[in-house]
């Protein structure tokens, strides 16, 4: 096969996450977003070491497994991958993907048990959070609000018929899109934020809805370039244009007039002038209600803010966390643990009833906690988010220590533990790599629930050095899990059992829960990690663009653009990914990094050990 060649073939299988393995007369080609059994036409985009990758051009014949899609946007929207397959077929694909990845690393250890895949209790309308983007579906087209078009960084598809959210989401999405479209038709100078030119007002619409309580939180994310303003010196507003408050109050009132099945808990306005296409807050204003809502999982109640991490499928999260709890309680005095869990559920219900009346504690709660504490163990919940797992483990542990880098999530975890009457939970804000050096207690059990990219190698080394007998690893990306398992196996751990959990029906994502045990013949090392005030050891931060910018600003007093950093990295021979932000113009004007700033950036790269 040659680059640019057009080939046809049958998709034999789909490897994680969405890599279709296409068998052609010329050989095997990997094509994204194809389904097993489809006959496809693709263009070869890369050939390396006998392995070809291609871009899907068209589906020539549907797969015999396909049954049609219930969503009008499937294929154009980049959100779902398996929506045209029966749910059972999708489960088989994900189960095979996870098993194949685990087998690739666990074939070198003793017997282990793979328990298949657990399905989501709800397949449609399951999401409790959506981040919609403003933009246009075609260049200079009408305003769109929805998801990114498949394979496109810029084009937006208005997904008013999306099936993985419920009707309230669809009504809110349609209402907001119509409101701002009508303003434009009335001559209001209000546009979406252009990612290349960094001009415009409307950026994102964030919607969260609790599956159990029905409470809804809506946040409009904009720049500070209000109606009639442009990103120029002075930022003067064009005469005759409405004030921003008038626009925002109209937005609020439209939402409040909607007939929804759920209850509107809060409407927010978030200002974000960051260049990166992410949702973050420079300033947040409450237009209505409050900036949080409540959700319930397995008898516990959680207060969730707009940026709090929380599993996006509440019903599926109960399956995931119940699985984790079942795995763990087998090793924390099973008979007493199950009795404690049952008692905790009763205690929690009582605490919730009292919480509704504004009281903090109930008679008997402290006695119950003391009883459990006397016989429990110390559990570390690393990458703990809002403390969901930690609080589920608290009734059967002496103490649970959660570590999370997002401070807002840590504050939420503390409030949630108090709300649920759990007094043996401690939550620490900070990077796991650094925080572990500051904790005096030694864990009896460790729970890991890291972000998609897995665990930092240095943090992984510290975790393994504790030498605990059992570790529970919850992963939302099985390829990252397999990479980390390689290290665990080399250091004396084995996987006892593992199971996949479908938290994200119709998408290419899947959760995996794995229980690891330290082999009996592995020598344990007693490790004391301590950083004293006069210690010279200071772990360096990761060499992210943001940290490089901060280093240059702190040491030389100047700001540097991401483009300049990328230019210097290329000059130094550092490997760079594809530039998705390059200009679409035929002969774009390229501004090169000034020599002085080039020296500052090189100094930063040396500091972070890149050159």
What amino acid positions are annotated as catalytic residues?
476
Could you tell me the two tokens for 555? 């040491």
Q: Within 10 Å of residue 2's Cβ, how many Cβ atoms? A: 9
Per DSSP, the three-state class of 114 is strand
Could you tell me the two tokens for 446? 């460790």
SS (H, E, C) 517-539: EECCCCCCCCCCCCCCCCCCCCC
Q: How many Å apart are CA 609 and CA 542, to the nearest integer?
A: 10
Q: Within 10 Å of residue 610's Cβ, how many Cβ atoms? A: 13
Q: Between the CA of residue 231 and those of 115, 234, 241, 357, 536, what are the distances in Å? A: 56, 8, 16, 50, 46
| Residue 27 main-chain phi, psi, to 5 deg | 135, -165
Q: What is the largest CA-CA distance in the chain?
A: 79
Angle subtended at Cα 375 by Cα 370 and Cα 379, rounded to the nearest 5 degrees: 95
Q: Please, where are the H alpha helices in 85-206?
A: 87-106, 167-185
CA-wise closest residue to 446 among 324, 301, 309, 336: 324
Contact 456, 476 (CB under 8 A): no
Helices (H) and strands (E) in the chain, counts: 14, 22
Task: Read off the DSSP letter of residue 557.
Answer: S
Could you tell me the two tokens for 472? 């529970």
Q: Within 10 Å of residue 104's Cβ, how many Cβ atoms? A: 12
Angle subtended at Cα 420 by Cα 417 and Cα 426, rounded to the nearest 5 degrees: 20
Please report how many Cα atoms fall inside a 13 Å half-sphere around the Cα of residue 68, on the Cβ side: 2
Please report how many Cα atoms fall inside a 13 Å half-sphere around the Cα of residue 493, on the Cβ side: 27
Could you tell me the two tokens for 596? 């002085």
CA-wise closest residue to 203 among 182, 225, 185: 225
Q: How many Å apart are CA 349 and CA 345, to the nearest integer?
A: 6
Could you tell me the two tokens for 2? 């040659």
Q: How many Å apart are CA 213 and CA 295, to the nearest integer?
A: 6
Please report how many Cα atoms fall inside a 13 Å half-sphere around the Cα of residue 56, on the Cβ side: 23
Q: How many Å apart are CA 384 and CA 391, to the nearest integer?
A: 10
Contact 70, 87 (CB under 8 A): no
Which strand (E) or helix (H) includes residue 473? Answer: strand 470-475
Contact 284, 307 (CB under 8 A): no
Q: How many Å apart are CA 109 and CA 325, to the nearest integer?
A: 25
User: What is the distance, to the nearest Å, from the Cα of residue 234 to the centroid of all Cα atoms in its chain?
Assistant: 38
Q: Which residues contact 28 (CB under 8 A, 6 or more apart)?
A: 21, 22, 51, 52
């Amino acid at each position: 096969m040659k680059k640019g060649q057009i080939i046809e073939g049958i998709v034999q299988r789909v490897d994680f996450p969405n890599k279709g393995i296409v068998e052609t007369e010329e050989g095997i080609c990997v094509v994204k977003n194809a389904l097993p059994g489809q006959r496809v036409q693709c263009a070869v985009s890369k050939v390396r070491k006998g392995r070809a990758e291609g871009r899907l051009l068209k589906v020539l014949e549907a797969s015999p497994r396909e049954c049609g899609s219930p969503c009008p946007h499937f294929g154009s929207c980049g959100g779902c991958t398996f929506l045209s397959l029966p749910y059972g077929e999708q489960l088989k694909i994900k189960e095979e993907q996870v098993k194949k990845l685990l087998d690739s690393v666990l074939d070198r250890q003793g017997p282990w048990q793979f328990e298949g895949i657990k399905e989501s209790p709800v397949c449609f309308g399951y999401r409790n959070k959506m981040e919609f983007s403003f933009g246009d579906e075609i260049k200079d087209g009408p305003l769109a609000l929805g998801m990114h078009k498949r394979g496109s960084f810029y084009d937006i598809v208005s997904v008013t018929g999306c099936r993985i959210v419920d009707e309230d989401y669809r009504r809110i999405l349609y209402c907001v899109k119509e409101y701002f479209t009508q303003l434009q038709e009335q001559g209001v100078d209000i546009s979406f934020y252009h990612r290349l030119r960094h001009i415009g007002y409307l950026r994102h619409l964030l919607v969260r809805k609790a599956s159990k309580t029905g409470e809804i939180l809506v946040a409009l994310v904009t720049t500070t370039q209000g109606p009639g303003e442009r990103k120029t010196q002075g930022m003067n507003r064009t005469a005759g244009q409405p004030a921003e408050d008038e626009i925002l109050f109209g937005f609020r009132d439209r939402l409040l007039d909607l007939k929804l099945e759920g209850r509107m808990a809060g409407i927010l306005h978030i200002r974000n002038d960051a260049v990166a296409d992410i949702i973050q807050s420079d300033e947040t204003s409450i237009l209505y209600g409050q900036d949080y809502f409540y959700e319930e999982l397995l008898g516990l109640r959680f207060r969730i803010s707009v940026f709090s991490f929380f599993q996006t499928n509440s019903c599926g999260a109960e399956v995931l966390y119940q699985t984790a709890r079942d795995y763990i309680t087998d090793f924390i005095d099973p008979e007493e643990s199950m009795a404690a869990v049952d008692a905790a559920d009763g205690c929690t219900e009582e605490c919730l009833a009292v919480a509704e009346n504004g009281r903090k504690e109930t008679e008997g709660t402290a006695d119950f906690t003391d009883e459990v504490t006397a016989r429990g163990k110390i559990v570390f919940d690393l990458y703990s988010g809002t403390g969901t797992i930690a609080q589920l483990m608290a009734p059967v542990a002496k103490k649970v220590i959660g570590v999370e880098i997002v401070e807002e999530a840590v504050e939420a975890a503390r409030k949630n533990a108090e709300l649920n009457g759990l007094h043996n939970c401690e939550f620490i804000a900070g990077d796991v790599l650094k925080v572990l050096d500051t904790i005096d207690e030694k864990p009896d059990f460790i729970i890991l629930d890291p972000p998609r990219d897995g665990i930092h190698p240095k943090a992984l080394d510290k975790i393994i050095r504790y030498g605990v007998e059992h570790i529970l690893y919850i992963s939302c990306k099985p390829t990252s899990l397999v990479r980390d398992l390689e290290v665990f196996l080399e250091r004396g751990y084995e996987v006892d059992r593992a199971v996949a959990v479908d938290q994200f029906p119709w998408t290419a994502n899947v959760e995996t829960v794995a229980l690891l045990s330290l082999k009996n013949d592995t020598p344990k090392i007693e490790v004391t990690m301590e950083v004293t005030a006069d210690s010279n050891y200071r772990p360096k931060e990761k060499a992210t663009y943001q940290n490089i910018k901060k280093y240059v600003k702190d040491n030389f007093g100047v700001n540097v653009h991401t483009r300049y950093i990328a230019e210097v990295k290329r000059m130094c021979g550092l490997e760079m990914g594809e530039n998705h932000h390059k200009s679409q113009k035929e002969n774009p004007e390229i501004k090169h990094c000034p020599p002085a700033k080039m020296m500052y950036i090189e100094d930063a790269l040396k500091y972070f050990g890149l050159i």
